[in-house]
Structure 1
Amino acid sequence: MTKKLFYLLVFFFSIPTINFAQQLSDSIQKTKTTPPEIEKVYLHTDNNYYTVGESLWYKAYSVYAYTNQLFDHSKILYVELLSPESKIISRNITNLEGGLGHGDFILADSLGIKPGTYQLRAYTNWMRNYGDDFVFKKEIQIITPNKENAILSKENNNTKTISKSKKDNSKVENTAAVLVDFFPESGSLVEDVISNVAFKATDSYGNPIEIKGTIFDTNDKPITLFKSIHDGMGKFILQPEKNQKYYAKVTIPNNEEVKINLPEIQKTGYTLSVNKVDEKKIVSIKTNAATLNQNPDADLTLICTTRGITYFEGTQPLKDTKLSFILPEENFPEGIAQITLYDKLSRPQSERLVYIEKNNDITVSLSTDKKQYTPKEKVNLSVSAKDKQGNPLIANFSIAATDTNGINENFDNTLNICSYFLMASDIKGKVHNPNYYFNNSNPARLNHLDLLLLTQGWRDFVWKKFPNLNNNQNFKVEKGISITGKVENLFGTTAKENNQVQMILLNNKATAMLNDTTDVNGKFEFNNIVFKGTATMLLNTKNQKGKNSGEFVLDSIYNQPIAVDFKGYYPLNYEENKITQIKTNIRNKNILFNIPEENQLKDVIITAKKKKDDTTESRYGFADFTYIPEEKGPRSSNIFILLQIAIPNLTATANSVRFNRYNGPPIILVDGIETDMDLLSSISTDDIAKIEAIKGPGAAVFGSQGANGALIIYTKLGKGSTTSKKVFHSIAMPIDGYQNTRFFYSPDYSQPNPLEKDKADIRNTLYWNPYVQPDEKGSTTISYYNNEVDTTVNINLEGITNNGIPIVVKSSYQIKK
């Protein structure tokens, strides 16, 4: 470093920051103290390639956007599976606790699953306040190994299937239009100021295209050559001359030449550039003489932020056409830093993104007790997580062990938790092969990452505007399941104020009873409810005199999905080759073990059976007695005679129905609707499907209405609920809560299962565990059994530490007979 530059840097850093604070507007200053509660979410999946009928397993990590620490904010996460035809084919309501959750999709034929590229996306209701900027999106491939390869492409917005037979070895090339864009390093080209100009070439689906070309001036004089060096990206140096315009002649892969104009040249202005010198990032502010003449000794303010939080700031008068300084990377967290230059009126003049890489001095490792196993042998996997002092890390991980199916790659370039939280979630558009930039075995990865930041763009409109984001938050944080609605007069839409609303939820033998009073608008709400699976909801409303009165108008329990912007795309040749190789490998496994697909050992759903006793499970708990009419049994002339015969210790006449142990009438439900004697008498005995009697403590689920027991009648095809007279002040209906998550089934070959002895174990996912945590010593051990295929198994650990450091660790081993 020269002595002149050294003194310049010392001078810059010695400047007090009081001027900066005086120049900033109130809104900019506010960003330093009151950032909004922005969430980001990432899904770790067990695999990226699935066959029809398999399960897709996922672990959700929800973090505070500024620190990447787990964020206990929203409790409901919407996880959706989108088809190549841009349709939502399945939706899970995933419960988040402490920023963590998990779930799965069964990729069954019943969902309309067929081969192609699908999208997995996840978001909270709160995220919708920020558009779709923080919606997690990931593509997965679904294949059918026993059928011919089928690839979906989009041409003129119409879906087209291109089939390749075994005899056709030719490549089907992507014929989408080529898009080439040029990006001056800090936003603008300024006359007489030397600048880097980056470029990026893609097809219309966002896939990179390799190009080369020449830059020409207004007089068609060639100025410089350029060529893409990574994923369609590259850069060149240009010093624009006065009164000149520039254009590029670009040669695309089919040797066609395209002419593209470069951005307009500004006569005055400022640029920012970043160069690496001796492992330091040198930031340079440059301008021309015309700008200095117009603004002598202009005060310029530099603000450097990461994810919207300011980590470095300073103000300096510009006396020359160039000013340089070292960026103090030690002040920043890992991730993308945004350097913005403001003039004395706080107007942004130029901007540059840089990536700050950190050595976090932590060690997370995976180790198996062997490097080679026999089929169905037990694997003992050890996880160690410690800091540089040997202290245990507080962290949460998820682990997947998968059959590579012939794809022996040392590093998967698809999305992982590091590339998402540290890079991909903070820049615009889809990042091609994001994990490439985080693979230490790629020596040029940081240079190529810098190209990506020069061309891909920043979600700046969110971070720059975030002081005002708190003002317009139309989408609320969901802290649990909410059941809301209003009570109106039976005739008309006048609100019923001060009505009592009672709700009973019956789920998995548990009962919850809640009460509320309608407000002046007739509204009621039950918030922050937690239950899994399907529950029966009973609602009843009474007026202030205790009389059943009013009609329910219910709101939707869950928010409607956000708009779909995913379009099935045609994969590049290398991705197509990978899919074909996986399909071939899985097909060969089927042939090798001489089994049809239905005899493979796949996911097993374990359910428990209840021991038989005197009670029968009911929608409303457990019935004390259940009657189901026999198809050829005796017929009763009316409902009351049938009730008298069917239910022991029940007295039933046209005027009253009661259990002998009580003095008053029971609550009577017909197909979930509370019923009076007139409606009961109109039911034909031929329409009865089942009758249940709850006359013991179980009737307490109906509150005070169940004080004299409950009589529940189900009609064939729900005919009872479509009779002319309905009860509007009561509702009984099934509702869905959080996804009733399954446990991943892993066979235990130390205890052979006779039911599985004839099934070949060629599972693609051998092990999945969404919750792996180090113990007080920073370690833990897990075990599982291999499949019975000679193959390579990849182990993938992902997770995050308590201080927000994302972790990815990979390992592998062999299975060999």
Structure 2
Amino acid sequence: MRQILPLTSIFIFLFLNSFAQNIDSTIEKYGNDYGQEKTYLHYDKSTYATGETIWYKAYIMNGINAADESKTFYVDWTDDKGKLLSHSVIPVVYATAAGQFDIPADYTGKYIHVKAYTKWMLNFDSSFLYNKDIRILSKANNSSALKSTTIPSLQFFPEGGDAVKGVVNKIAFKANDQWGHPIKIKGIVQDNNGVKIDSLRTIHDGMGYFYIFPKAGESFTAKWKDQKGTVHVSELPAIKQTGVSLQVTIAGNKRNFVVSATPDIAASLGNIHVLGTMNQHEVFKLTKDFSQGNIKGIIPAEDLPSGILTITVFDEHWSPLAERITYINNQEYTFNAEMNVEHWGLNKRARDEVSITVPDSLAASFSIAVTDIGIDTDSSDNIISHLLLTGDLKGQVYNPAYYFSNNSDTISQQLDLVMLTHGWRRFKWEEVTAGKFPKIIYPRDTSYLSLSGKIYGAMPSQLRDAGSIVLIMQKQKHENKMVVVPIEPNGTFHDPSVILFDTSNIFYQLPKAKGLGDASVQFMENRLPPFSNNIAANGLFNNQLQDTAGDSRHLLFADEEKRLANLYKAKVLEAVTVQAKTKKPLDVLDEKYTSGLFSGGDAYQFDLLNDPSAVGSMNIFNYLQGKVAGLQITTGSPPSLQWRGGTPQIYLDEVPADADMISSLSITDVAYVKVLRPPFIGGTGGGGSGAIAIYTRRGNDKAMQPGKGLSNNTVRGYTSMREFYSPNYGTINENDDKKDIRSTLYWNPQVLTNRDNNKVTVTFYNNDISQAFHVVIEGMSSDGRLVHIENTME
């Protein structure tokens, strides 16, 4: 006979089952829709002197994949007081971004802080943003660094999160100084009666562990000595009277776990759930009867991706009880890339060639830095250790690259100490179990920083069918560019084809016929301002140990470069006599402003820069009346033009324009007008009625009169990117007689391989004094695999 369950039991079963399904779907949505990006920056060298340039390349990942959605990258540079020095905005290409920062020549701080992020990363815990302190070399900084006083500290981390009464608890500890460097300690752990429970011994880099078995009412302290023999007493975390203990051990490519609790707690819990997640995705889930107070399990890890596996224990109602992270290293995250020296030339100014080869059809992006082997270096962190370990942990990890030097059992156990002593919390379980998702304040930059804006001070009825806004972009050392962009009903406008770099002055003309003459425009409202919570550069985010000899050699390079730069600036140049035929002023204007089919030819030319009568004209058409034979101009709104039985075409900075637009253009903004006789070959329809080409003033023309001309705003786009200077001594150059003592011989952040080219060779030249080189190559494939190569050439 079939047993019938009570209605309440059925309800509880259905409720818990649906609750579990809700958690599954919530976690899956987190992983798919709220994947969190992380980044790593590769620099050309580890320390810098004042006046030098920091060259860098950023690699961006989302979980185990290259982050190909975000298109803009931000870097904030702050001084030792937290003051912002620069806010770099860089386009992202193939999940990478590259740029440079010039250290002020008068900078006096010991460090410069780097904070790097995408806009998407700001929606989540700021502890996972990229932070680094770059050490700045100077004679004063180097001498003061030796006098620094070490301040030791000791922290305790119960495995699973809490120390629980009535069961065996594993307590990890970490001893370090104020900069995060490990220190050696020794001591004992004792209970509140002074009875010794265990010894306190560091196992690796200031970390270790011990066991306690707390009873009701017990508390514990640690009595320890630092490296100078000073005695310290530290209290252990308070003992929880209820809860469970979670212990995880490493067994090859498996993870064994044990969950235990006192009998009374176990009986009250009934069933418990054990959930494993990686990169915000669920990788395993099990439910077990916990009434006996002890359950064990084995987690096979050979098929999991490398990274942090989080094991969380929940009660029957999915409230978290304990959590532990463990590291999985299956070494599938790398790809084969070989560095070969194709040509040795270590003599003074000799040519060197280095090749990077990858398997066929592998698309990858690399950065390569070549420095003098004698200067200071920092190999404590790299692209692999940061993107696979420290980028997912809170707090500093000392020498993280060490944990990827090999996959031995010893290193696995030492890496497990890192897992025990570092905070990690991508999930807020109270929100996950409630089905809540992060509030997205900063939408992802899925398109590049292009010309955009919004019109203010206009009614919706005015913006509806308003037409287009006319924009003239003025930038030093560049030709003016005019674009006409449609206005959306909400007052916004956007031209994705115009990517902005550096600073531009943008003049704008709104359609007056729609009553928008008094409206204003704000440009680039989606451009992210600097991060408000700036961090002072104090060395906390720098684990590099000082290399006295390397620092001295680096300073020698830098000081000599400064001396030579000042010497060459002061050097009097030899007089050079140039004989040339004098050009007519109109010919100079035509050569400066016109291009293509607009240049030369049979035309009337007008120099408004040097024509005082131009200021008295209302507009261009008023100015041209009576000056061109056969050209009939009837003023009105809009004006009409006739020439040889047709209407001449109008161009503003060689872009087609209409008469209504030109009539509202202030004549003080115009530098040159060229009326091309019919037929104008560059016009549509054969240009049978000629053309009128109007050119606006450029940055080096006479200054415009204040209060006149079009409204304008200064707009900042992407930070200008420069190319690293690498001399070519294979050709004769005027700079060859200058002494060459570069500490960075070569930097290239844009080395690419693909299916058609799996081998790339780079060429660079030695300086005057380096005898050997330190080469660092880092890269990421299109599928998110990583590579780090570090070699010497000597």
C-alpha deviation, 1:294, in angstroms: 3.6
Contact conserved, 1:536 with 1:620, CA < 8 A, in 2?
A: no
Moved more, 588-597 or 347-356: 588-597
Contact conserved, 1:384 with 1:774, CA < 8 A, in 2?
A: no
Partner of 1:771: 751
Question: Counterparts of 2:722 and 2:268 in 1: how far apart (Å)?
Answer: 69
SS at match of 1:809: strand
Note closer, same or farther for the CA distance 1:93–1:620 as it changes in structure 2 (3 Å cut). farther
Partner of 1:138: 132
Question: Counterparts of 2:288 and 2:540 in 1: how far apart (Å)?
Answer: 50
Structure 1: unaligned runs, 5 residues or longer = 1-17, 152-162, 165-169, 602-610, 701-705
Note closer, same or farther for the CA distance 1:628–1:571 as it changes in structure 2 (3 Å cut). farther
Note closer, same or farther for the CA distance 1:617–1:84 as it changes in structure 2 (3 Å cut). farther
C-alpha deviation, 1:424, in angstroms: 0.9
C-alpha deviation, 1:366, in angstroms: 1.5
Question: Counterparts of 2:613 and 2:556 in 1: how far apart (Å)?
Answer: 63
Counterpart of 1:195 in structure 2: which amino acid?
A: N
Counterpart of 1:419 in structure 2: which amino acid?
A: S
SS at match of 2:337: strand
SS at match of 1:26: helix
Selected match of 2:140 from 118, 137, 149: 149
Partner of 1:89: 85
Partner of 2:485: 515
Question: Counterparts of 1:226 and 1:191 in 2: how far apart (Å)?
Answer: 21
C-alpha deviation, 1:241, in angstroms: 2.6
Contact conserved, 2:355 with 2:762, CA < 8 A, in 1?
A: yes
Alignment TM-score, normalising by the size of structure 1:
0.76
Matched, 1:118 2:112: yes
Note closer, same or farther for the CA distance 1:253–1:675 as it changes in structure 2 (3 Å cut). farther
Selected match of 1:561 from 530, 536, 556: 530
C-alpha deviation, 1:306, in angstroms: 0.9
Question: Counterparts of 1:623 and 1:114 in 2: how far apart (Å)?
Answer: 53
Partner of 1:423: 389
Question: Counterparts of 2:84 and 2:561 in 1: how far apart (Å)?
Answer: 36
Contact conserved, 1:25 with 1:346, CA < 8 A, in 2?
A: no
Q: How does 1:133-532 map to 2 (within 5 A)?
A: 133-144=127-138, 148-150=139-141, 164=144, 171-174=146-149, 176=151, 178-277=152-251, 280-295=254-269, 298-318=270-290, 320-360=292-332, 362-369=335-342, 373-386=346-359, 393-407=362-376, 412-413=379-380, 415-440=381-406, 444-461=410-427, 468-469=436-437, 472-488=440-456, 496-504=463-471, 506=473, 511=481, 513-519=483-489, 522-526=491-495, 529-532=498-501
Note closer, same or farther for the CA distance 1:449–1:99 as it changes in structure 2 (3 Å cut). same
C-alpha deviation, 1:481, in angstroms: 2.2
Question: Counterparts of 1:679 and 1:382 in 2: how far apart (Å)?
Answer: 57
Partner of 2:5: none
Counterpart of 1:460 in structure 2: which amino acid?
A: R
Question: Counterparts of 2:412 and 2:509 in 1: how far apart (Å)?
Answer: 63
Contact conserved, 1:536 with 1:734, CA < 8 A, in 2?
A: yes
Alignment TM-score, normalising by the size of structure 2:
0.78
C-alpha deviation, 1:338, in angstroms: 0.3
Moved more, 189-198 or 550-559: 550-559
Contact conserved, 1:649 with 1:659, CA < 8 A, in 2?
A: no
C-alpha deviation, 1:74, in angstroms: 1.8
C-alpha deviation, 1:250, in angstroms: 3.5
Counterpart of 1:29 in structure 2: which amino acid?
A: S
Offset from partner CA, 1:410-460 (integer Å, 9 cap, x none):
x700x3211121111111123333223222399844333222221111033
Note closer, same or farther for the CA distance 1:459–1:403 as it changes in structure 2 (3 Å cut). farther
Counterpart of 1:149 in structure 2: which amino acid?
A: A
Offset from partner CA, 1:249-281 (integer Å, 9 cap, x none):
233445443332222223342211122335643
Contact conserved, 1:627 with 1:647, CA < 8 A, in 2?
A: no
Question: Counterparts of 1:481 and 1:202 in 2: how far apart (Å)?
Answer: 43
SS at match of 2:421: helix
Moved more, 207-216 or 493-502: 493-502
C-alpha deviation, 1:305, in angstroms: 1.1
C-alpha deviation, 1:531, in angstroms: 3.9
Structure 2: unaligned runs, 5 residues or longer = 1-13, 570-582, 654-660, 684-689
Matched, 1:615 2:590: yes
Partner of 2:10: none
SS at match of 2:420: helix
C-alpha deviation, 1:357, in angstroms: 0.5
How large is the RMSD of aligned CA atoms in angstroms? 4.7
Contact conserved, 2:135 with 2:539, CA < 8 A, in 1?
A: no
Moved more, 318-327 or 349-358: 318-327
Offset from partner CA, 1:694-718 (integer Å, 9 cap, x none):
5569999xxxxx9854364689995
Contact conserved, 1:208 with 1:231, CA < 8 A, in 2?
A: yes
Offset from partner CA, 1:177-211 (integer Å, 9 cap, x none):
x4432111111122232121011234455444443
Q: How does 1:541-580 map to 2 (within 5 A)?
A: 541-542=510-511, 545=513, 549-557=517-525, 558-570=527-539, 575=544, 577-578=546-547, 580=548
Q: How does 1:702-713 map to 2 (within 5 A)?
A: 708-710=692-694, 712=696
C-alpha deviation, 1:484, in angstroms: 4.7
Question: Counterparts of 2:665 and 2:90 in 1: how far apart (Å)?
Answer: 44
C-alpha deviation, 1:302, in angstroms: 1.2
SS at match of 2:305: coil
SS at match of 1:585: helix
Question: Counterparts of 2:447 and 2:124 in 1: how far apart (Å)?
Answer: 19
C-alpha deviation, 1:318, in angstroms: 2.8
Matched, 1:581 2:572: no
Question: Counterparts of 1:358 and 1:331 in 2: how far apart (Å)?
Answer: 8
Offset from partner CA, 1:69-127 (integer Å, 9 cap, x none):
22321212122322222122122221113323322223353xx5445211222222222
Partner of 1:722: 707
Note closer, same or farther for the CA distance 1:430–1:639 as it changes in structure 2 (3 Å cut). farther
Contact conserved, 1:379 with 1:784, CA < 8 A, in 2?
A: yes
Question: Counterparts of 2:46 and 2:316 in 1: how far apart (Å)?
Answer: 51
Counterpart of 2:413 in structure 1: which amino acid?
A: N
C-alpha deviation, 1:559, in angstroms: 1.7
Contact conserved, 1:312 with 1:331, CA < 8 A, in 2?
A: no
Counterpart of 1:376 in structure 2: which amino acid?
A: R
Moved more, 84-93 or 199-208: 199-208
Partner of 2:773: 793
Moved more, 217-226 or 468-477: 468-477
Partner of 1:605: none
Question: Counterparts of 2:443 and 2:614 in 1: how far apart (Å)?
Answer: 57
Note closer, same or farther for the CA distance 1:694–1:629 as it changes in structure 2 (3 Å cut). closer
Partner of 2:122: 128
Question: Counterparts of 1:132 and 1:422 in 2: how far apart (Å)?
Answer: 18
Question: Counterparts of 1:594 and 1:743 in 2: how far apart (Å)?
Answer: 20
Counterpart of 2:364 in structure 1: which amino acid?
A: A
C-alpha deviation, 1:587, in angstroms: 4.5
Offset from partner CA, 1:331-382 (integer Å, 9 cap, x none):
3100111011112111111111100011328432212146783232222212
Counterpart of 1:384 in structure 2: which amino acid?
A: T
SS at match of 2:40: strand
Sequence identity, in percent? 22
Question: Counterparts of 1:227 and 1:484 in 2: how far apart (Å)?
Answer: 61
Contact conserved, 2:642 with 2:648, CA < 8 A, in 1?
A: no
C-alpha deviation, 1:594, in angstroms: 12
SS at match of 1:412: coil
Question: Counterparts of 1:553 and 1:698 in 2: how far apart (Å)?
Answer: 37
Note closer, same or farther for the CA distance 1:343–1:434 as it changes in structure 2 (3 Å cut). same
Counterpart of 2:42 in structure 1: which amino acid?
A: H
Question: Counterparts of 2:599 and 2:182 in 1: how far apart (Å)?
Answer: 64
Partner of 2:76: 80
Note closer, same or farther for the CA distance 1:285–1:695 as it changes in structure 2 (3 Å cut). farther
